Amino acid sequence: MVNDQTPGTASATPPEITYQDNLDWVDWAALNHDLAVDRFDNGRSNEQLEKSFANSYATCVAWCRGQVIGTARVLSDGVCNAYLIDVWTSSKFRRRGVAREMIRRLSERLDGQHIYLQADPDNVDIYRRLGFKEQPSGMSKIVGRWLTNSNSA
Ligand SMILES: CC(C)(COP(=O)(O)OP(=O)(O)OC[C@H]1O[C@@H](n2cnc3c(N)ncnc32)[C@H](O)[C@@H]1OP(=O)(O)O)[C@@H](O)C(=O)NCCC(=O)NCCS
């Protein structure tokens, strides 16, 4: 879905990446498709995906040539605790600082707060590089059945 470079222009200037803190113009079906292609799909419908972003404390969306190529969002009480989630960079745009920039922008809105996240083992080193430290006793549980409740659209 995402064209990184025009064929035959390997030495061309890399396409511009821009960042938005609002969700205007996001095509949720296209984003859900691209998440699935990248195997970063947790089963949300397009409507659930949109609702989970819309209900967040802060969001960051990275764009390139009219396509969403990165996302990150935080849940927060606005005082002391925040949870970073849905950090994704399209596989064609990785290792260019997109996640670093999205997290930097979100962090600007979390001054004085403690940011938590759950990292896959493969990503621990990436988050270390972004200033996070491991918390050895993270715990979680799912209430009822995953993604099944009357409010989740
Ligand atoms: C994890 C992910 C969001 C990183 O996105 P990204 O835009 O490529 O990350 P950045 O380019 O901003 O890199 C951030 C730092 O991590 C490092 N890094 C990124 N990918 C790396 C990799 N595969 N191996 C080692 N280091 C890596 C970068 O070098 C950078 O550190 P530096 O600035 O000190 O050099 C991306 O790989 C992704 O979307 N993965 C699939 C979804 C996922 O697992 N999300 C996280 C859920 S916990």
Ligand 1 atom with minimal separation from the 38 CA: 41
- The band of 153, judged by pLDDT with boundaries at 50, 70 and 90, is low
If you measure from the C-alpha of residue 13 to the centroid of ligand 1, how many angstroms do you get, rounded to a whole number? 22
Average pLDDT in the chain:
91
Instruction: Provide CATH code, domain 18-129.
Output: 3.40.630.30
Q: Is 120 in the pocket of ligand 1 (CB under 6 A)?
A: yes
* Residue 18: strand, helix, or coil: strand
Cβ neighbourhood burial of 70 (10 Å; 0-12, 13-18, 19+): buried
CA gap 46, 84 in Å, rounded: 20
For ligand 1, atom 35, name the residue with the nearest CA.
Answer: 129
Q: What is the DSSP letter of 30?
A: H
Ligand 1 atom with minimal separation from the 102 CA: 12
- The band of 135, judged by pLDDT with boundaries at 50, 70 and 90, is very high
Distances (CA, A) of 105 to 9, 45, 57, 81: 31, 27, 13, 17
- The band of 149, judged by pLDDT with boundaries at 50, 70 and 90, is confident
pLDDT tens, residue by residue, 77-133:
999 999 999 999 999 999 999 999 999 999 999 999 999 999 999 999 999 999 999
pLDDT tens, residue by residue, 2-58:
444 444 344 456 689 999 999 999 999 999 999 999 999 999 999 999 999 999 999
Q: Is 96 in the pocket of ligand 1 (CB under 6 A)?
A: yes
